[in-house]
Amino acid sequence: MQEPLDNNEDQINDLRTENEIKKIKLSLEHGGDFSALEDTGLPPELESQWLDYIQQFEDAFAKKETVKIFEYLAEPLFKDADGLDDAEITVALDEAMTMMKDNGIVLETLCDVDDRELYQFVTRELMQHEINNIKIEGMRTCFVYEDFHPNHEYDIKSRCTDFVNLLFKKDGEWMPKFLSFANEVYSSTGIIDEQQAIKKVEDFRDSFSSFAINEFEIESVSIHESGVEAEVTCHLDYTACLEGSVEEIAWTGVGVFSLKLDIEWWTISMVRLPGLVI
């Protein structure tokens, strides 16, 4: 690791020159663009360390060598899950996760996953997954369990919750694409496209200066046998202040969402909320 410089102007200038040479080398060899670094005020010794890290990564990546995680971890021995009781499974899982983390492999979960199920995933499935054979100190390769085994109920609830939060958030940046509408939306006037659905939401939001959610709770999630359609019911209670007025309107009641699975992403194809009908 580069030692901090003791305010020696000559050393600092020499290091800055070395850094410029490193940038030129990276640009010529790997097409790097470092123009964004010019005004960051990053100390030259830290910039040097960062450039060295980039050089190591690019050199290793250029080899395009991939290996199974099992090989990357030097073929560790795992106990067979079928021969372990629940307490032993938990211990074995902790050991496996620690061993992976120590070697730069991190596995996260979005939802609660049974220890036995997660251990079997790690030892029987994740170990066969291929990654770039790059080993650099401090580098992490991260995985999410649900990327391999989606939790559709969790995703559906998240999509509906995000919709409601974005709909009633007036004090932040408006990002309509995060409403997750399908390309075609079932409205009160028939089928409309995504942009028309967004316009209806915007007209509703623009009618009020502020919203306050008193209660929002998803009550049921029903996934159709097809696996690509779902229905959600929720309870919503909120107040809204009319634009240009101090008058408040209170709404409470049942809300309904319909969703469709588009490749790996649930989109909203219909929504009915108290006060809002698309």
The answer to whether residues 238 and 165 touch, using CB atoms and an 8 Å cutoff, is no
Q: Is 164 in contact with 256 (CB distance < 8 Å)?
A: no
Phi, psi dihedrals of residue 134, rounded to the nearest 5°: -125, 125
How far from 121 is each of 44, 88, 220, CA to CA, in Å?
Answer: 44, 16, 29
User: For residue 41, what pLDDT band results from cuts at 50, 70 and 90?
Assistant: low
Q: How far is 133 from 63, CA to CA, in rounded Å? A: 9
pLDDT attached to residue 112: 95
**What are the structural domain ranges in the chain?**
9-62, 66-148, 152-277
Q: Pick one of 3.40.462.10, 3.30.70.1150, 3.30.450.70, 3.10.450.50 as the CATH number of 152-277.
A: 3.10.450.50
Predicted model pTM: 0.74
Burial of 268 (0-12, 13-18, 19+ CB in 10 A): buried
Residue 204: is its pLDDT beyond 90?
yes
Contact 203, 176 (CB under 8 A): no
For the cut 80, the answer to whether the pLDDT of residue 39 exceeds it is no
Q: What is the mean pLDDT of residues 257-268?
A: 95
Helix (H) or strand (E) holding 141: strand 141-144
Counting residues of the chain whose pLDDT is more than 70, the rounded percentage is 86
- Quick check: 90 and 115 in contact, CB under 8 A? yes
Q: Which of 243, 160, 175 is nearest to 205 (CA)?
A: 243
The Cα angle at residue 201 between residues 150 and 169, in degrees rounded to 5:
75
**With bands split at pLDDT 50, 70 and 90, how would you rate the model's confidence at 153?**
very high
Comparing C-alpha atoms, which of 74, 56, 72 is closest to residue 132? 72
119-132 tens-digit pLDDT: 999 999 999 999 98
User: In the prediction, which pLDDT does 4 show?
Assistant: 52
Return the amino acid letter for 2.
Q
Residue 92 has a pLDDT of 98
Q: Is the pLDDT of residue 202 over 90?
A: yes
Q: Is 218 helix (H, G, I), strand (E, B) or coil?
A: strand
**Confidence band (pLDDT; 50, 70, 90) for 137?**
confident
The whole-angstrom separation of Cα 33 and Cα 199 is: 39
At 224, is the secondary structure helix, strand, or coil?
A: coil
3 state DSSP class of 24: helix
88: tokens are 């032993």
Confidence of residue 221 (pLDDT cuts 50, 70, 90): very high
Lowest mean pLDDT across 41-45, 61-65, 188-192, 225-229 = 61-65
Annotate 154-199 with DSSP letters as a single string: HHHHHHHHHHHHHHT--SS---GGGG-B-SEEEETTEEEEHHHHHH
Distance CA 162, CA 249 (A): 23
Average pLDDT over residues 205-209: 93
Element (H, E) at 152: helix 152-167
What pLDDT, on a 0 to 100 scale, did the predictor assign at position 55?
A: 67
Given a contact cutoff of 8 angstroms between Cβ atoms, the answer to whether 208 and 241 are in contact is yes
Whole-number pLDDT of residue 28: 64
Mean pLDDT of the chain: 88
As a whole number of angstroms, the distance between CA 216 and CA 161 comes to: 8
**Who has greater pLDDT, 174 or 56?**
174
Q: Give the count of beta carbons closer than 10 Å to the beta carbon of residue 59.
A: 13
Q: Which two tokens stand for residue 218?
A: 């998803």
* Each residue's pLDDT tens digit, 16-27: 777 777 677 767
* Mean pLDDT of all residues in 106-110: 97
